[in-house]
Amino acid sequence: MTTRYADFYRQSIDQPEAFWAEQARLIDWQTPPAQICDYSNPPFARWYAGGTTNLCHNAVDRHLADRADQPALVAISTETDSERSYSFAELHAEVQRMAAVLLALGVTKGDRVLIYMPMVAEAAFAMLACTRIGALHSVVFGGFASGSLASRIEDAEPVAVVSADAGSRGGKVVPYKPLLDEAIAQSRHKPQAVLMVNRGMAPMPLHPGRDHDWAALRAQHLDATVPCEWVDATHPSYTLYTSGTTGKPKGVQRDTGGYAVALAASMQHIFDAKPGDTYFATSDIGWVVGHSYIVYGPLIAGMTTIMYEGLPIRPDAGVWWSIVEKYRVTHMFSAPTAVRVLKKQDASWLRKYDVSSLKALWLAGEPLDEPTAQWISDALQVPIIDNYWQTETGWPILTLANGVEPQTTRFGSPGKAMYGYAVKLIDESTGEELTGAHQKGVVAIEGPLPPGCMQTVWRDDQRFVNTYWKSIPGKLIYSTFDWGIRDADGYHFILGRTDDVINVAGHRLGTREIEESIASHPNIAEVAVVGVADALKGQVAMAFAVARDASGLGDPAARLKLEGEVMQRVDQQLGAVARPSRVHFVTVLPKTRSGKLLRRALQAVAERRDPGDLTTMEDPAALQQVRELVGQGG
């Protein structure tokens, strides 16, 4: 008999101890937990206290009995034209070699290891090796600027750094060693060891006494046997710094047992995944999706996971679908931004390959607009499932749990509240819960947060409380800092950040709502709306849009015509008060490497202010176009 998701969800909220005790059976424990949830010191939740387990054991070792020869990790690079598949047995051996090397370099339980790597197999070996020996990894996106890297080294205080000579993007080599050396020079904390993977792509001078060559040390530990360090469920597994932070970096600290259970449960209930299935997440290990759904989640589920280095359109726009065909990918996870890139390409690439193995395509990272969702749905003919979550939560807050009960996607909505998350919509001024349909409020979560969510901010409990739990008056409740509404069937719709609200002549407008309206124009591929200071109205909305067909937009008359059509559409859908003051047409929007729009930077440039730290930006030239447009008013 099929379980109704509504009942499943209700049990998780009304009987959390029994619910999460049942989910804990999805992983291996060396010692069963003594207590399911200790919430005696809100808002700090201690899940599965007293239980001992190991993340690497659950991802690798426990599969050796049944699937030692099954592919576990497939590393594909269209930057270096290379592919390498590792079975669970081979992955087990490589992780033990890496663990032995880290131990030889002085890393012990509780120490931090900073990983600054491209999307290569050794990055996954390093992450798994850290959790194997009870060390904490802190992955920093490869190619981050020296200043940002230095601040993370200072905060994490790693004993060792694992890096590579270079990464590559779009055929352009990005040398890492000079960036890393400069970061260490800037940092007050000096790691005692640096382990370098030489890909033969850039010079890699080794600092005597500190730097070590991975290949040389690996050769000394080919037959290494390193047992798993059984750690308490509450032992931290890693820290991950949230992108876009200013000032002191904010390290999201994750536990071990709760995270393992949350991922194992999500693979079953959300992704309906089975051992032997193949998971292809197009993200990067520098982001939370890479941690949860490239490395740990799929491996815990006994799946084959694909690590991909490269772009979605290189060597051509069919490259991802060729991978789906070749490896019979069953589960694919990407970002709306990537789909919008593909939307600009010839649709024939999607028909060239057999993608019938796909059960669904999951998307996250940015709100998924309805036209983009409809386009990829029509092209792939598989369910398109949006989901909404954060670095802080580690796994989806809102999506569809099709492994519990098959449900229908509603384009524009990331879905329903996931089990364990007591999601509320809160009136920001009164703190009262909004229970009616289509009432706009702050998306918030009552404590305790479910397993897998952040324990705290690394070494800063007060910051954890102040940042996340004190923004709603009179309530100790976790704020996502996003606006949302919920329809009568429980589907949520995210309307944008609470700090992305603009006030136009006393009218409060969500930039997300204006973006949705503009994106509904057939010739708009992508759009970002920001609030810009205005002497008369306080703020006005300003839009920056990428046209699907930009041919002819070099003609000012054609630009004005399209701008007028867009404004008319906003007038009709939202009213004249929401009409942007200008719609500027650009060839590319400024984004981080994970695909998040840099709205803050756009706003700063539009207001002729310093856009601040742009180290996470994918294409530094993107803002120059905005500067020129705003400067000349065209």
N-terminal to C-terminal alpha carbon distance within the chain: 62
517 lies in the same domain as 456: no
CATH code (residue 568): 3.30.300.30
> Are 165 and 142 within 8 A, CB to CB?
no
Mean pLDDT, 10 residues at a time, the chain of 634 residues: 86 98 98 98 98 98 98 98 98 98 98 98 98 98 84 96 96 95 97 98 96 98 98 98 64 98 98 98 94 98 98 94 98 91 87 95 86 91 95 97 96 96 94 95 97 97 95 92 94 83 73 88 93 83 94 92 94 83 93 79 86 71 79 52
Sign of the Cα pseudo-torsion (511, 469, 144, 56, in order) = negative
293 lies in the same domain as 144: yes
d(CA 452, CA 443): 19
pLDDT of residue 56: 98
520 lies in the same domain as 476: no
- Best CA proximity match to 354, nearest among 381, 315, 384: 381
- Best CA proximity match to 438, nearest among 425, 447, 450: 425
175 lies in the same domain as 275: yes
Q: How many domains does the structure of the chain reveal?
A: 2
Q: HEC profile for 426-466? A: ECCCCCCECCCCCCCEEEEEECCCCCCCCCEECCCHHHHHH
440 lies in the same domain as 558: no
Examine residue 255 and state whether it is found in any structural domain, yes or no.
yes
Examine residue 374 and state whether it is found in any structural domain, yes or no.
no
pLDDT of residue 246: 43
Examine residue 46 and state whether it is found in any structural domain, yes or no.
yes
123 lies in the same domain as 29: yes
pLDDT of residue 627: 82
pLDDT of residue 633: 46
- Best CA proximity match to 458, nearest among 190, 228, 249: 249
Phi, psi of 286 (to 5 degrees): -70, -15
Query: Pick from 444, 466, 481: which residue ends a domain?
Result: 481
Examine residue 286 and state whether it is found in any structural domain, yes or no.
yes
465 lies in the same domain as 515: no
d(CA 207, CA 182): 12
CATH code (residue 111): 3.40.50.12780
276 lies in the same domain as 181: yes
Q: Which distant-in-sequence residues (6+ apart) come within 8 Å of 194 by Cβ?
A: 160, 161, 162, 163, 180, 184, 207, 210, 211, 212
Examine residue 604 and state whether it is found in any structural domain, yes or no.
yes
pLDDT of residue 245: 37
Examine residue 332 and state whether it is found in any structural domain, yes or no.
no
46 lies in the same domain as 106: yes
Examine residue 62 and state whether it is found in any structural domain, yes or no.
yes
452 lies in the same domain as 572: no
69 lies in the same domain as 201: yes
pLDDT of residue 244: 39
Query: Pick from 430, 449, 481: which residue ends a domain?
Result: 481
29 lies in the same domain as 176: yes
Phi, psi of 343 (to 5 degrees): -65, -25
Examine residue 468 and state whether it is found in any structural domain, yes or no.
yes
User: Using alpha carbons only, what angle is made at residue 13 by residues 12 and 15, rounded to the nearest 5 degrees?
Assistant: 70
Q: Which range of residues forms the domain containing residue 73? A: 5-310+387-481
| Whole-structure pTM value | 0.87
